[in-house]
Amino acid sequence: MGSGCLKVTKYFLFLFNLLFLILGAVILGFGIWILADKTSFISVLQTSSPSVRTGAYILVGVGSLTMLMGFLGCLGAVNEIRCLLGLYFTCLMVILITQVAAGLVIYFQQEELKGELSRIVEKLIEDYDPVNGEDKNLQDAWDYVQKQLTCCGWNGAEEWEKNNILINRSLTAYPCSCSNSSKDAEENTGFCSLDVGVNGTATYADWPVHKQGCVDGVQDWLKDNLGIILGVCTGVAVVELLGMILSISLCKNIHSEDYTKVPKS
């Protein structure tokens, strides 16, 4: 191939790696967001589920490595360093295989994740205690979810009847974050008292709360956010594949150019 084709390949590879660098930064940002978020449902997941926290660290690692590979690809393309392009190609192939494997694991474990979420939330509701400082972040995160999604409990408001504090109070109180009453609009956490008890006792049917559970809303939220993450990862995978093709092509072209420069005897 001529020097013109070599230059076109080189600059295309450089541009792809700039995009690669940006996408790597986005993946890194997602990982950091999962670890740092303390106000949404993701806090409940990463505090209670080791697999989610591990997944976040994997995202941070993959994002960092992707950015490094983007930098090496740019450097190798501009300076036409064959060994660096070969290293770049190998690392891209390893990252691509890892991403595909991780995606398959996530896809085939969806039902297991759903069951794990259900157990986490049911346990959280049962042990919910506004004065318990140890689990305050986790409890505040679940209150935030119920308030934002206008729902109550995982499958329904009746799950709050199993809460130990509410049982001791004969169910004459209810979670403020579940309330559909305007008088509780400013109350986002803890328990609110019923105005009038029924013979000193009550049931969840007497509470002024949303009766539907949060399971559908949370699943929609997870699909939306995981869809964004998977979309970005798919974009990175396409760029990786193109980068592999361009890097091996550039390697071949550099090799050919080197031989054409050897003087004939």
pLDDT tens, 152-204? 999 999 999 999 999 988 888 999 999 988 777 677 788 998 876 556 678 88
Residue 264 within any structural domain of the chain: no
How many residues would you count in the chain?
265
User: Are residues 232 and 132 part of one domain?
Assistant: yes
- Residue 258, token pair as written in the block: 């080197």
Tokens in use for 51?
A: 């697999």
Q: Is the pLDDT of residue 40 over 80?
A: no
Domain match, 66 and 163 both:
no
Query: Residue 51 — very low, low, confident or very high, per pLDDT cuts 50/70/90?
Result: low
Residue partners of 118: CB distance under 8 A and separation at least 6 = 154, 155, 215
pLDDT tens sequence across 101-127: 776 766 676 677 777 778 888 888 998
- Distance between CA atoms of 212 and 209, rounded to whole angstroms? 9
144 shares its domain with 15? no
- What's the pLDDT score for residue 152? 94
* Cβ contact 194:172 at 8 Å: yes
Domain ranges, residue 162: 111-257
Query: Which residues lie closer than 8 Å to 217 by C-beta, 6 or more apart?
Result: 145, 149, 151
**CATH code: domain of residue 244:** 1.10.1450.10
The closest of 173, 177, 183, 176 to 204, measured between CA atoms, is 173
Give the chain's end-to-end CA distance (angstroms, integer).
22
pLDDT over 70 at 147, yes or no: yes
- If asked whether residues 215 and 121 sit together in one domain, one would say yes
One-letter identity of residue 200: G
Q: Is residue 92 domain-resident?
A: no
The answer to whether position 85 is within a domain reads no
Q: Each residue of 2-19: pLDDT tens digit?
A: 456 667 777 777 787 777
| pTM beyond cutoff 0.85 | no
Provide, rounded to the nearest whole percent, the portion of the chain with pLDDT above 90: 11
The verdict on 122 and 60 lying in the same domain is: no
Between these two residues, 48 and 236, which has the higher pLDDT value? 236
Q: Above 70 in pLDDT, residue 26?
A: yes
For the cut 70, the answer to whether the pLDDT of residue 50 exceeds it is no
User: What does the pLDDT read at residue 54?
Assistant: 73
Question: Would the pLDDT of 208 be above 60?
Answer: yes
- Answer yes or no: is 90 within a domain: no
